[in-house]
Structure 1
Amino acid sequence: MSAEPLASWNDGPAKQALLDFAAHAEASVPAGDRIAVFDNDGTLWCEKPAYVQALYLLQRLQEQAADDPELAARPVTQALLEGDLEAAAAQGLGPLAEVLLATDAGVTAEAFAVTAAAWLEHAPHPHFRRPCADLVYAPMLELMALLRDHGFRVFIVTGGGVEFVRAASERLYGVSPDDVVGSAVEVELERRDGRIDLVRTARLLGSPNEGAPKVINIQAHVGRRPIFAAGNSAGDREMLEYATTGTEHPSLAIVVDHDDADREFAYEGKAMTDPSAEAIAETAARAGWTVVSMRDDWARIFPEA
């Protein structure tokens, strides 16, 4: 990474807003209150043509279906393995979640982390043909570095699986696993060979970490209101609102706009759990949040190979 702050950002209002905010916060906000939260999918790494964890789950499902005729015969499994996500979703959230959550049921938390980290390092992205771990956004890595240089503590607050992101958060983002908040599966305590293990189940712990649950889980995990938040979809709306309302400190929310079909993808960020929610671009315009155009504001998308 370049020593120049935000070196992968083009000069413009978005870059200047970030530089001004970081400097102002360092000068006026107590260190303990300099909290920044980042969504992950579509904000820190590429989420198309499917969520990174979905690609991982599909590979695990393919491996298991090859050895389990009953699993392979399920309509939802067939749709997933054929790449027809719409048909899979039409089977209902219950059957879909049951199949996907079962892919690593019975695996210890430690073994899952090792498997997930190895997969990220080696599994090729279906579009870019580079390991998924390479497809983090260089400008956002620089933004995290800028905030840290000005005394911020940086958290990832993801709708994805918390253990999946924790498996690579330190290497990819410099974020300790302790500082990752996300959706979680239930684990059970088992005694195996004279030791206690935590074993993954096929049950989700609470609600998916999107929308209002992001704010609730920030309070439960972080215990402080952030003054900076970054997201890219309607599922991040409440988190962005939380960071920019109810605080006496300067605050900033940014929305990453995927408008670069040439270098990445062009699409509207929708909420997975509420697809009918208002477009995040409309919310940002009304709230006065800073919209970051991937096409116009980023000189490059990914780190060099």
Structure 2
Amino acid sequence: MSTAPLSSWNDGAARSAILDFVERSADVPPAERIATFDNDGTLWCEKPAYVQAMFILARLREQADADPALAARPVVQALLAGDLGAAAHAGGTEELVDVLLSTHSGLTAEAFAEVAAGWLAEARHPRFERPFADLVYAPMLELLELLRGAGFRVFVVTGGGVEFVRAASERLYGIGPDDVVGSAVEVAFERRDGRVVLVRQAKLMGSPNEGAPKALNIQAHVGRRPIFAAGNSAGDREMLEYATTGTHPSLALVVNHDDTEREYAYAGQSVTDPSAEAIADTAARAGWTVVSMRDDWARVFA
């Protein structure tokens, strides 16, 4: 990347708002310069499906090939056919979630991280035919670099699985696993061959990290209110509100996917609440900064 700040950003209101915010934040105590970023659709491509969803389905396909009884279940057949609606109808939401969580249950935390990192290194995006790790947004990497240079501590706050993102966050974004907040599965304490291990269970730990839980988990994990937050869907609304209703200078950034040629064009919906107000409407009402992928980014992928 260029050494110039935000070199992949076109001149415009979004770039100016970011640079202005960084200048205004210079008077904020260093310990309170906290920035939080959603992951899917904010830092890397989330279409045609969440990367973690494709990772889970790849594992399910392997397991179904090896287990005829599993392959015969209607919910599994629907999932492997790519019909999420039929999968939910076939067995209900509870069975659907159980099947998805069971794909990696029984693995230790270390084994899961190894499996996830290995898959990310080899799997390729169906449209772009590049590894998923190549589909990180170059302008957002520059923004991460700019904020770190201004003394910010940067966190990923994702609705995705925290251990999945931790397996790649340092390599992708320069963000260590201890600075990733996300949805988590329960783990069990076990001793195997004289060694303590934490073993994944087929059960979520609490609620998915989307909506209000993002703000709650920032407090639980970080212990400080962010003054910068970036997202792209209605599931990020509460995190952006939290960041912009404190006492310090703040900035909320919304990535608008409006570029069908270089990526995709779609509205960012909340997974847990599809009826929630569109994030673009919330941003317009709240005065947040909206980033047009088509107009504000000179290039998309790193």
For the criterion TM > 0.5, the same-fold answer is: yes
Q: Distance in 1 between matches of 2:96 and 2:262?
A: 32
Q: Distance in 2 between matches of 1:96 and 1:258?
A: 29
CA offsets 1:151-176 (integer angstroms, 9 cap, x no match): 10000000000000000000100001
Task: Indicate the residue corresponding to 2:204 in structure 1.
Answer: 204
CA offsets 1:50-99 (integer angstroms, 9 cap, x no match): 00000000000000011122211122111111111232233432111111
Query: What is the SS of the residue equivalent to 1:66?
Result: helix
Task: Indicate the residue corresponding to 2:255 in structure 1.
Answer: 256
Task: Indicate the residue corresponding to 1:133 in structure 2.
Answer: 133
Q: 1:121: Cα distance to partner? A: 1.3
Letter in 2 for 1:189: F
Query: What is the SS of the residue equivalent to 1:156?
Result: strand
Structure 2 runs not aligned, ≥5 long: none
Q: Map 1:218-233; keep pairs closer than 5 Å.
A: 218-233=218-233
Q: 1:118: Cα distance to partner? A: 1.2
Q: Distance in 2 between matches of 1:178 and 1:269?
A: 27
Task: Indicate the residue corresponding to 2:149 in structure 1.
Answer: 149
Q: 1:276: Cα distance to partner? A: 0.6
Percent sequence identity is 74
Letter in 2 for 1:63: E
Task: Indicate the residue corresponding to 1:6 in structure 2.
Answer: 6
Q: 1:186: Cα distance to partner? A: 0.4
Letter in 2 for 1:143: L
Task: Indicate the residue corresponding to 2:103 in structure 1.
Answer: 103
Q: Distance in 1 between matches of 2:88 and 2:156?
A: 27
> What is the TM-score normalised by the length of structure 1?
0.97
Letter in 1 for 2:66: D
Counterpart check, 1:270 vs 2:269: yes
Q: Map 1:46-125; keep pairs closer than 5 Å.
A: 46-91=45-90, 92-125=92-125
Counterpart check, 1:296 vs 2:292: no
- Structure 1 residue runs of 4 or more that deviate by more than 6 Å after TM superposition: none
> What is the TM-score normalised by the length of structure 2?
0.98
Q: Distance in 2 between matches of 1:30 and 1:38?
A: 20
Query: What is the SS of the residue equivalent to 1:83?
Result: coil
Q: Distance in 1 between matches of 2:48 and 2:157?
A: 21
How big is the alpha-carbon RMSD for the aligned residues of Structure 1 and Structure 2?
0.8
Letter in 1 for 2:257: H
Letter in 1 for 2:249: P
Q: 1:256: Cα distance to partner? A: 0.2
Letter in 1 for 2:176: S
Query: What is the SS of the residue equivalent to 1:104?
Result: coil
> Across the two proteins, how many residue pairs are aligned to each other?
301
Counterpart check, 1:38 vs 2:22: no
